[in-house]
Structure 1
Amino acid sequence: MVNDKCCCLICLTSIAIAKKGNLARHFLALHNKYKTDYPPNSELRKHKVRDLKTQLTNQQSIFKKPRLKSQAVTTASFKVSYFLAKKCKPFSDGEFEIFLEVSDLLFNDFKNKNEIVAAVQDLQLSRNTVMQRIERMSGNVKEQLYDDINSCSCFSLQCDESTDISDTAQLIVFVRMVFKDFTSKEELLGMISLKERTRGVDIFKAFKNLLNDLKVSLFKLVSITTDGAAATIGCRNGFIALCQNEDEFPAFLSYHCIIHPQVLASKRLLNTKDVMDIAFKIVNSIRGLFDSCFGSTYLCESAFSYLKLTKTKQRSILTDSRTEDSLLLLSLSGYTPNYDSLVRDMQTQSSH
């Protein structure tokens, strides 16, 4: 059997339907002399069958090795692109030539030095290729997130609004999912650009559009945590009030961050991450409802710090969708891309 198809070892022809009658008819019609030259159950026939199988395996390996090499190069390209996104590095950093320059010294005593250098040269790490790899990985990570949202028992949301380097208001939303075994996950749900105003109704419309695009089931919603601004906690036109008056939203708890001033102050100080992480855990433990609710907007504040590292003055032309889907998501997500699935779903080829 070759690729789930019955294949003749003598002429390498595939048999459409692997039935005993079809196989016998094919053998008697095309290879009848083998019956007399190699009698059944004889040692001569066993050796002939063994030789034919070896020939078939050798022929398959001729095509298999380049394919495996190409898949390995593509997987390495994905992993390098993932590292660049995780560390908020420019896409052009993938086009490193220094490794090729020092290859002569590093692999001078290696017998397969030429093969190693050739494999490094085949790496697909141009700026556009890195961007495409990051976009594919972010899509794979989103699929894992959607699966967890659909399988969780309940979830809570955390949102906060701030501006990026281009003075565009951005609303970042995090989700905390609680599963049947009482384990929880905190992940970035999305980032929404508020192009015009940042009133409560504007935040509400953008927030609802995000949930509709992601097809999030709101009946699992437990609570929403905000930064406590007037646009979010206003009693009439605030974001929380509009959500509570909307029929699609269930009855949920609403909180506002009680350490928001401390989080803002910590941004201007150095080496405060360890302290804020401890404070963040304490607040969550006090505010937590069966470990399902957010007690602060610290995750959103941390995301804005990553956003400033990602969308800098030198990279201010990055579109909001690429910033969200391709960079911010991979930088903050706890999921690891499924490289095998990514490589299998695309055509692998060496760079020219």
Structure 2
Amino acid sequence: MDRFLIRNNEKPNDGTQNSEPAPKKKKYDESSVKVRRYLSEYLGLGFSATKSDPVNAQCVLCGQVLANSSMKPAHMNRHLSTVHPSHVGKPIEFFKRKQEAFASNCLEIAKVASVSSKPLRASYAVSYLVAKQKKPHTIAECLILPALVKVSEIMFDTKTATALQSIPVSNNTISRRIEDIASDIVMQVIEQIKLTKMFALQLDESTDVSGEARENILFCQNLQSRTTGEELFKVIDKFFAEGGILWDWCLSVCSDGAAALTGKNNGLMAWIRKKNPKAKWLHCIIHRQALASKRMNAHLHETLNEAVKVINFIKARPLNSRMFKLLCQEMGSEHQHLLLHTEVRWLSRGKILNRLFELRQEVHMFLLEQKSAFS
């Protein structure tokens, strides 16, 4: 409205030499906006003052807040007569009691909604344990917290058990806590990289049970399309750009010998060397040992295959597995089960051979009873 009045009060220029130039238009200044003050008489209309800046009017009956520009008796009267017609004409003492009750309710809601520091820390501690043990997020609400409550009731008192129930451990809460912890760890790693300005990468592209390819060393990201060196580089480069990490700080890259990672034309290392030609590539020692185990001596490889066949004969059949367990119990063996061999995890080869050697007498006796050719 002020700008409209200024524009219409300007003198028009008739084009003559003696005509004075029109005054310049005043720019809109937010500081010129009128800020209304709250008056104590407004409580008689059912409105109290908020603690905001500028102050606003809030209805003590329904909690609706009017803007500072709308803090006028006419607007308050209209709200009271349309929304709360039964309270029109009430004395100011009535609205004072309503104001006290409204403030008390706000404090109670704040106490219920807020979480004190100790339950919050306990929630993060439980979330960290759940993530570390790779358990479902629901285990905290279904098992951990009820177990803590029961133990507290038995060992201490009901008051302690009631205090434990205030720890937020719902499924969604645990999920958010784990995300917060993971983000904090990533930020700490990034800060350390920025301080030292040097780092080495360890990369391994893998596919999970759902068939989605992932990069999961420093971070876990889904590769939306093909798992080429260019796509891998885009994912890592985007992460570095968001974290403020420079490729010039990269000293070396460690990975397996896959073409998508080590190709000199389109592999990941080729894209990294475009950013940092001094970066070196090293073959991962775990993958090297896995390759060495695949190319072992023929006699040793045959022995390993025979051991796997013996284990599968016992473990693959539920009846044989139960009978072997009973035999181990009767003989007082230290172990009662054999371990299955996993091709993906090459370290399982040593573990299954150790367990088979420790139970060699029990296995031999069981194979004789079953009249198996493996005996």
TM-score, scaled relative to structure 2? 0.45
Computing the radius of gyration from Cα coordinates, the structure with the larger value is 2
Name whichever structure is richer in strand by fraction: 1
Relative contact order (C-alpha < 8 Å, sep 6+): which is higher?
1
TM-score, scaled relative to structure 1? 0.48
